[in-house]
Chain A
Amino acid sequence: MVAGCSSTGGRPQPNANGAAGPAVNTPRITIALVSHSGAGDTFWDIVRRGAEEAAAKDNVNLLYTADDDGPRQAQLIQQAIDQKVSGIAVTLAKPDALKSVLANAKAANIPVVVINSGESVAKSLGAQAYFGADDKVAGNAVGDKLLAEGYSHPICVIHEQGNVGLEDRCAGVKAKVPATEVLYVPGKDMTQVSSTITSKLQATPTADVVIGLGAPFTLTALKAVEATGSKAKVASFDLNSELAQQIKDGKIIFTVDQQPWLQGYMAVEYFWQQLRGGFSLGGGQPVLTGPAIVDKDNVDAVLKFAKDGIR
């Protein structure tokens, strides 16, 4: 054995898995996907993979761009319009900032679909379809499940102050479990996330469950709960392989997955279906990709895909 090598873990040995070419022979089109993702966001990484896989299969040239600043996201959409793409998929986390640029898209006869956020305004801004989860509905689902399992005092941890979707999730929980408290943590610094959750647990000994709104933050919350010796349990929104493993191991009680891979996939697939047969998915109604609850009963079916970065 070479000195300094690790006998366990690390990069899996690469295997020849033959890159898949396009599976269809429809004309090559260019589709833009413009999200409000911040840099290095694990959730959006999965969305992008879904879109890339659909693009590879459907002979689509995918242009993925993102900016978490509303006006700059609008500029990215305008750039897509300038390039005369065949379709644009956008997220409407900041709908007011995108209103006028979406009017430009309409004027240029470029079809638009909305994914992930902005369900309530998508139609009025001229979008043909919506693929995503309703954060309030997802929050309600968590609240219901917590009530059913006998929890009464959740702490809902928001890792990005002012993000409407995250606020909706906690509001959805609170609508079902009125004693829910919201805790804001600085999501750009895990040590501060950890110590802030710890201090909240120390200040609130009656809390019986901590809810993280994104997989990496939930995993940090779990460590904080274990370190303080608090009796609180941990629940989550969204998923990654580590989180799935912790559900399997019984450390986290459940998570609500909005299946982001599907959101990216559908964004591209929609335009291809339109090209293929003039189909309209959802019949003008929102197509929900969640909430899908993952707990110990069904985690085995999910874990493998989470490891592949799909769930």
Chain B
Amino acid sequence: MSVANPAIIDERMRSRSPLQRLLSRPEVGSLVGAVVVLVFFVIVAPVILQPASFATVLYGASTIGIMAVGVSLLMIGGEFDLSTGVAVISSALTASLFSWYFVLNVWVGVGLALLVSLGIGFLNGWILTKTKLPSFIVTLATFLMLTGLNLGLTRLVGGAVASPTISDMDGFSVAKAIFAATFKIGGVDIQITVLFWIVLVAVASWILLRTKIGNWIFAVGGDAEAARAVGVPVAKTKIGLFMGVGFCAWLLGMHNLFAFDAVQSGEGVGNEFLYIIAAVIGGCLLTGGYGSAIGGAIGAFIFGMANKGIVYAQWNPDWFKFFLGLMLLLATLVNLVVKRRAERK
């Protein structure tokens, strides 16, 4: 026989001010970081504010950002993927070598590459959920196998370590006009990858925040067993997330192929870390269950600014990796502080 004391309200039910709600968003720390980095480079290298320069920064950010979308969602779902860097090249090589060898319209290759990319994602997720092995091991194995396949198959099919040129084949010009297009906004050339990036972030945010699947993703990343107990299809969600990464890899792979025509089979190694860095700077937790697609995009944007800003500032690039590491550390610390503050209030 207890009477609820109206003065004590469950803290979960307490209404929060808009400011508090903003501060508890995962991407807030990285947003602060992005503003700081931007202001910094505007001071040391004002040329970065020129529209054309800014378009270049956006292009550099978008080629990281496209993958960071898929990788962010995957990390919110509690897994990560080491095979993403070479998977981009695998996709480009599949489209190029297949069309070339069988002398097909390049669109046939583009379609096959999509199937292969989704297939790689499916395989990653399926092995992971079947064996219960950590994603670190499974995707490390995929990374190694893809690296070898990229090299081995390219030489086997094309006779060299770079894919043969397909720019003279049917369908190339149309595919180039789509995957490697540039369009003008206010007289400035913008690469289509920027548009792909924005669309992907919007779609991913919508899935995360407005759909049932979004809830599943947060749930499997937070606590897979609890999620399973309330009826969330854990295996399907994880496999779907890996296939989402595969889709992003295909999109970026097609851009690589049609922007540069030939693909070198040894490329892509190491980029998987850049995608993970972008997601982490953007507030995704390595332990899963927390983060946002927008955050990954801001992380990629910070990376793009730092990467290009050092060139605009005419600095010695020997130090670039050092700055990147420092930024990663600072951004994650800011995230941590902002998150703790938001939780305390």
Query: Residues of A with Cβ closer than 8 Å to B?
Result: 4-11, 38-42, 44-45, 161, 183-184, 188-192, 194-196, 198-200, 202-203, 216, 219-220, 223, 227-228, 240, 242, 309
- Do B165 and A183 touch (CB < 8 A)? no
B311:A42 contact, CB within 8 angstroms: no
User: Given contacts A38-B266, A191-B256, A203-B45, are A6 and B308 in contact (CB under 8 A)?
Assistant: no
Q: Name B245-273 residues within 8 Å CB distance of A.
A: 252, 255-256, 259-262, 264-271
Q: How far is B164's CA from A192's CA once the two chains are assembled, in angstroms?
A: 21
Pairwise interchain contact A195-B59, C-beta atoms closer than 8 A = yes
Q: How far is the CB of B299 from chain A (nearest CB, A)?
A: 16
Instruction: Please tell me which one of the listed residues B45, B56, B271, B314 contacts residue A189 in the complex, with CB atoms under 8 A apart.
Output: B271
| Alpha-carbon separation in the docked complex, A309 to B45 (Å) | 43
Question: B residues engaging A (CB < 8 A)?
Answer: 45, 47, 50, 52-53, 56-57, 59-60, 63, 99-108, 147, 150-151, 154-155, 159-162, 164-172, 182, 189, 193, 252, 255-256, 259-262, 264-271, 307-308, 311-312, 314, 317-318, 320
Residues from chain B with Cβ under 8 Å of A40 in the complex:
150-151, 154, 161-162, 264-267
Provide a sorted-by-A list of 29 A–B residue pairs whose CB atoms are within 8 angstroms: A4-B108, A5-B170, A6-B106, A7-B170, A9-B166, A9-B168, A10-B99, A10-B102, A10-B103, A11-B101, A39-B151, A40-B154, A40-B264, A40-B267, A41-B161, A42-B161, A45-B160, A188-B267, A188-B271, A189-B63, A191-B252, A192-B60, A196-B307, A199-B57, A202-B50, A202-B53, A203-B311, A220-B260, A309-B159
Given contacts A10-B169, A199-B53, contact A42 B162 (CB under 8 A): yes
Find chain A residues with CB under 8 A from B314 CB: 203
When distances are taken between beta carbons in the complex, the residues of chain B under 8 Å from A9 are 100, 103, 165-170, 172
| A216 CA to B308 CA, complexed, in Å | 21
Question: Which chain B residues border A10 with CB–CB below 8 Å?
Answer: 99-104, 166, 169
Contact assessment for B307 and A227 in the assembled complex, using a CB-CB cutoff below 8 Å: no
Q: How far apart sit A9 and B106, CA to CA, in the bound complex (Å)?
A: 11
A202 touching B56 by the CB < 8 A rule? yes
Q: Do residues A192 and B307 form an inter-chain contact, with CB atoms below 8 A?
A: yes
> In the complex the two chains form, is B267's CB within 8 Å of A190's CB?
yes
Contacts of B151 in A (CB 8 A): 39-40
Query: Given A42-B161, A199-B57, list of 16 further CB < 8 A pairs?
Result: A9-B165, A10-B100, A10-B166, A44-B161, A188-B270, A188-B271, A190-B267, A194-B259, A195-B60, A196-B311, A199-B311, A202-B52, A202-B53, A203-B47, A203-B53, A309-B159
Question: Contact: B161 with A6, CB < 8 Å?
Answer: no
| Cβ contact within 8 Å between A195 and B308 | yes
Given A6-B106, A8-B170, do A223 and B260 touch, yes or no (CB 8 Å)? Answer: yes
Q: What residues of A have a CB within 8 angstroms of the CB of B271 in the complex? A: 188-189
Name the residue on A nearest B58 (C-beta).
A195
Residue contact B101 to A191, C-beta cutoff 8 Å: no
Smallest CB separation, A16 vs chain B (Å): 16
Alpha-carbon separation in the docked complex, A240 to B262 (Å): 12
- A161, A183, A202, A227 pick with most chain B CB within 10 angstroms: A202
Tell me the complex Cα distance, A165–B99, Å: 37
Q: Is the CB of B103 within 8 A of A11?
A: yes
Q: Are B162 and A190 in contact (CB under 8 A)?
A: no
- A199 touching B56 by the CB < 8 A rule? yes
Q: Are A191 and B268 in contact (CB under 8 A)?
A: no
- Chain A residues near B318: list those with CB within 8 A: 161, 184
Complex CA gap A297/B19 in Å reads 69
In the complex, chain B residues whose CB is within 8 Å of the CB of A189: 63, 267-268, 271
Residue pair B168, A39 in contact (C-beta under 8 Å): no
What is the bound-complex CA distance between A38 and B42, given in angstroms?
37
A225 to chain B minimum Cβ distance, whole angstroms, is 13
Smallest Cβ-Cβ distance to A220: which chain B residue? B260
Chain A residues in 8 Å Cβ range of B59: 191, 194-195, 198
Ranked nearest first, the 3 interchain pairs of A and B with the lowest CB-CB distance are A40-B266, A10-B103, A9-B168
Chain A, residue nearest B63 (CB): A191
Contacts A40-B150, A191-B259, A195-B59 given; indicate if A6 touches B169 (C-beta within 8 A).
yes
Task: Assess A42 versus B160: contact at CB under 8 Å? Given A6-B103, A220-B260, A242-B165.
Answer: yes
